[in-house]
A = this chain, B = another copy of it.
């Protein structure tokens, strides 16, 4: 803002918007994934580019689940269909397989004016809603109505839209209370702060591989009584940042709890393809809820999915969907009205979601390649999950639960008292203090556990499992030597 700055100096102009007059909820909200550590990493990257000598040659962005940025290659069929839809002259090009062309023709026929440049209906293109519904039906062996699906600009927008519906529009003891896990993905805390809602934190049990215990849900809800109006419980499965995968029994208990307490369930299931551990399996809340029968099968559930994770990792396309199960008809109409003012989610992101949920079938010319690419991505991720868990646990002063799913390790770091004191003197969270030094000395960019929430007196950080296998050993080697130096420095 150098230009405006200089103008200010010249005219000493007083401003309408200051930190005092800004929306206080926006001032308060924090999103640690792209917080101070990441911002410092970008500065260091700039300094490196300008030739400033550093103890490292490059920044290793382990802060965000950005698959293609860390070398994952796109699924060919996805990109072929997008290219064909964007530039239909390519439908004559022999380099494209017939099924990709057929798919593109079908999509263009479903676009107003046969152009992906037209707005779609606010909840998304109807045939894509049907693709998603068919995917869910097949996944769960249970019916899914395409009217209950709306596509969104990444899962993020869907989660914000549903949370918005749950707000009371009031403050004080009449604020909406939303149960969120600790540790949690900070989109939830950031959005609740922005909406001036009351988070009701429930703790995952690190000693039991980040399990979600109903006793803890009861404790958390009781503690919130009188402070807000509890409206919903958010569950992230597979977990982010914790990587745990919930068992069917666990999900049943959560549903019983939500039903007993009259809480809408928000199921963040964007990592449903990312399950690696032996014995772990993904169960959707929708499937479990329906199979539980009355009265649970009619309980209100919103489930979220994304094109950014799984095996496609198409983050830049901003594709997502939400399934609204068991909501009242007029409530759902109201939600559709509420999304109409934003017009529609990006059409190409919708196409990616339609391919995720309606991939090439056996017999299609692209089937084999699609399956190869998919299973290759997922098996390599599983290998990385195992390797990173093992490497962290081989380091003194670190313990790391098994990365059963998702895309992150969330190791616990046992910090010496001297390090904690040194951090406090700087008015920093001890894990922030630790992650800052890790960045400055090694170029490894992580997210401090305090950005996700953690049990008082415990310290963690989140790092993605995404870097290429051959780099992971090197990165963890760098990390280990830093960590031992750190322990030595503050022992």
Query: Closest B-chain residue to A261, C-beta based?
Result: B16
The B-contacting residues of A in range 325-339, CB under 8 angstroms, are: 325-332, 334-335, 337-338
Interface centre among A69, A144, A194 (most CB of B within 10 A): A69
| A18 to B295 Cα, complex, angstroms | 18
Q: Which residues of B contact A72 (CB under 8 A)?
A: 113
Q: Which residue of B lies closest to A64 (CB)?
A: B119
Within 8 A of B (CB), among A49-102: 64, 66-74, 79-80, 82-83, 86-87, 89-90, 93, 95
In this complex, which of A13, A86, A144, A327 has the most chain B Cβ atoms within 10 angstroms of its Cβ? A86
Q: Looking at the assembled complex, report how far the CB atom of A148 sits from the nearest CB atom of chain B, in whole angstroms.
A: 6
Interface presence of A253 (CB below 8 A): no
A317 at the interface (CB under 8 A from B): yes
Count A-side interface residues using an 8 Å CB cutoff: 125
A316-B119 contact in complex given A297-B11, A298-B7, C-beta closer than 8 Å: yes
Of B144, B186, B325, B344, which contacts A341 at CB under 8 A? B186
Residues of B within 8 A of A326 (CB): 4, 7-8, 13, 15
Distance to closest chain B CB from A270 (angstroms): 12
Interface membership of chain A positions 319-354, coded 1 if the CB is closer than 8 angstroms to chain B and 0 otherwise: 000001111111110110110111111111100000
Check A141 for interface membership: any CB of B closer than 8 A.
no
Contacts of A186 in B (CB 8 A): 341
Q: Which residue of B lies closest to A144 (CB)?
A: B3
CB distance from A292 to the nearest CB of B (A): 12
A13-B299, A27-B334 known, 17 other contacts, Cβ within 8 Å = A1-B148, A16-B232, A16-B263, A18-B331, A19-B334, A21-B231, A22-B165, A33-B340, A34-B122, A82-B87, A93-B95, A116-B317, A118-B316, A154-B342, A156-B343, A191-B341, A318-B343
